[in-house]
């Protein structure tokens, strides 16, 4: 069904890096979401009134909020598709995150409202009317929501859309919510226990959790998050395939929407090649990355000594000392400056984020002592950095 809808309504569906194609995917997902959730709202609201069930009614308004969410997502997708202009040279892709954030607040509002109604039902319980046709309709809604979740997840992965992935997660939450509603009706019918208010409260909590998770996922790229390890490995792997590139570090990526990424990276090159050769390779990497991965990459060149065997030996010994203290640490921009009475070892040290300032200072003192064990003349000039890569 998903592939059929994509084939019918998305032209050039394989060209997922094209903004027009992404917009078509977003419009398709939004329209399908609006129609499906409106149908579910009307069915569940009618059932809730007929059988006097707050949990069914709460579930119905959750579906109505999902319809509003789909409309907001549609507007967000359209705004995100606007081309770059002089005020916004990196495009308008972050509108997609803003629309998802609005959706999160709508979901949270529904959750709070339903929780309030559920508490009132717990304090003043009323009997619900059991009807097999209601159970059948609710079960059908569960199957529809499962399909919607799979539909949005598939499209979200295909075009790397945070909104669609959040919608898929929300739909799976709805599956649990409706299942709890069906369970409350069955328990009430078989035992006579008035659990509708409690189930409604459980439904509300699920809705609140879903809203919180959507807000969290959409705020992170707006605030600025660490680079995804998969993206990091992909960029480094591609860059290292080019001639003269012997190492990389300080990779930073800025997200201006799911399809708009700008990145900077330091590339180490031999210090004995010509500036023209180095520039030609770096320029080619930047062009290829933009063409193949739609990543605007800016490269800073770091000349590195490759022929001095003595410096390479010292660097290897320093790396060994660093790894003895912290396996996840690394160094770069290593230089050796010889003096009459001392030898300066100058380098940048990258430590994991969990190190506190006092721990960094202790690490630095311990490392300097260990390096002096190699040679008393070694004096370290170390700049401590933290990695820009997301950590587990």
Does residue 171 carry a pLDDT above 80?
no
The encoded tokens of residue 136 equal: 């059948």
By C-alpha distance, which of 345, 338, 351 is closest to 370? 345
Longest distance between any two alpha carbons in the chain, whole Å = 94
Does residue 190 carry a pLDDT above 70?
yes
The encoded tokens of residue 111 equal: 């959750």
**Tokens 């803003």 — which residue?**
98
Give the up-direction half-sphere exposure of residue 97: CA atoms within 13 A in the CB hemisphere. Answer: 18
210-268 pLDDT, tens digit each:
788 878 877 877 787 778 888 889 999 999 999 999 989 889 888 887 677 889 999 99
> Between 362 and 203, where is the model more confident?
362
Cβ atoms of residues 37 and 11 within 8 Å:
no
> Would you state the pLDDT for residue 378?
93
How far apart are alpha carbons 239 and 301 in whole angstroms? 12
DSSP 390: P
Mean pLDDT over 120-128 rounds to 77
Q: What value, to the nearest 5°, has the Cα angle with vertex 217 and ends 212 and 218?
A: 100
> Would you state the pLDDT for residue 55?
63
Task: Outline where the chain has alpha helix (H).
Answer: 2-9, 19-51, 54-80, 95-123, 132-159, 162-191, 196-223, 229-240, 275-293, 309-325, 357-374
Does residue 68 carry a pLDDT above 80?
no
Topology of domain 229-386 in CATH is: Alpha-Beta Plaits (3.30.70)
Most confident of 12-26, 102-116, 225-239: 225-239
> Would you state the pLDDT for residue 271?
87
The encoded tokens of residue 127 equal: 């009997």
Q: Where are the domains of the chain?
A: 2-223, 229-386
> Would you state the pLDDT for residue 266?
93
Q: Do domains 2-223 and 229-386 have the same CATH topology?
A: no
The encoded tokens of residue 182 equal: 């069906």
Residue 354: helix, strand or coil by DSSP?
Answer: coil
By C-alpha distance, which of 301, 216, 220, 231 is closest to 262? 231
Start-to-end CA span in the chain (Å): 36
287-315 pLDDT, tens digit each:
999 988 888 999 999 888 888 889 989 99
Mean pLDDT over 92-106 rounds to 80
**Tokens 């490995």 — which residue?**
233
CATH number of 2-223: 1.20.1510.10
Mean pLDDT over 117-146 rounds to 79
Mean pLDDT over 128-132 rounds to 68
pLDDT band at residue 320 under the 50/70/90 scheme: very high
Does residue 363 carry a pLDDT above 90?
yes
Residue 389: helix, strand or coil by DSSP?
Answer: strand
DSSP 83: P
Q: What is the mean pLDDT of the chain?
A: 84
pLDDT band at residue 128 under the 50/70/90 scheme: low
pLDDT band at residue 358 under the 50/70/90 scheme: very high
Cβ atoms of residues 131 and 48 within 8 Å:
no
Cβ atoms of residues 107 and 210 within 8 Å:
yes
Lowest mean pLDDT among 11-25, 282-296, 365-379: 11-25
pLDDT band at residue 329 under the 50/70/90 scheme: very high
- Percentage above 70 pLDDT, the chain: 96
> Would you state the pLDDT for residue 104?
79
């Amino acid at each position: 069904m998903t592939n059929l809808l994509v084939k019918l309504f998305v032209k050039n569906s394989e060209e997922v890096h094209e903004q027009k194609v992404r917009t078509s995917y977003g419009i398709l997902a939004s329209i399908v979401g609006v129609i499906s959730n409106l149908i579910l709202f009307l069915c569940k609201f009618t059932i809730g009134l007929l059988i006097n069930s707050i949990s069914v009614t709460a579930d119905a308004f959750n579906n109505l909020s999902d319809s509003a969410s789909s409309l907001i997502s549609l507007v967000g997708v359209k705004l995100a598709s606007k081309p770059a202009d002089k005020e916004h040279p990196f495009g308008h892709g972050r509108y997609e995150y803003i629309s998802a954030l609005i959706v999160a607040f709508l979901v949270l509002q529904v959750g709070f409202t339903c929780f309030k109604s559920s508490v009132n039902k717990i304090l003043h319980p009323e009997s619900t009317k059991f009807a097999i046709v209601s159970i059948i309709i609710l079960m059908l809604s569960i199957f529809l929501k499962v399909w919607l979740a799979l539909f949005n997840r598939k499209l979200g992965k295909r075009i790397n859309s945070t909104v669609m992935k959040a919608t898929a997660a929300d739909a799976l939450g709805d599956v649990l919510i409706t299942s709890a509603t069906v369970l409350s009706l069955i328990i009430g019918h078989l035992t006579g226990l008035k659990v509708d208010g409690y189930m409604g409260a459980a439904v509300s909590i699920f809705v609140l959790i879903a809203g919180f998770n959507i807000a969290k996922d959409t705020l992170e790229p707006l605030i600025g998050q660490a680079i995804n390890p998969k993206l990091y490995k992909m960029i480094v792997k591609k860059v290292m395939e080019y001639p003269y590139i012997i190492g990389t570090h300080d990779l930073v990526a800025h997200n201006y929407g799911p399809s708009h990424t700008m990145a900077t990276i330091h590339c180490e090159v031999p210090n004995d090649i010509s500036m023209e050769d180095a520039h030609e390779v770096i320029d080619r990497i930047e062009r290829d990355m933009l063409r193949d991965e739609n990543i605007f990459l800016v490269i800073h060149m770091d000349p590195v000594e490759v022929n001095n065997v003595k410096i390479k030996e010292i660097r290897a010994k320093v790396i060994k000392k660093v790894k003895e203290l912290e396996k996840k640490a690394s160094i770069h921009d290593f230089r050796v400056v010889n003096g009459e009475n001392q030898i300066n070892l100058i380098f940048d040290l990258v430590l994991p984020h969990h190190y506190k300032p006092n721990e960094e200072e202790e690490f630095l003192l311990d490392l300097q002592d260990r390096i002096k064990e190699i040679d008393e003349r070694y004096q370290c000039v170390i700049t401590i950095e933290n990695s820009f890569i997301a950590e587990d």
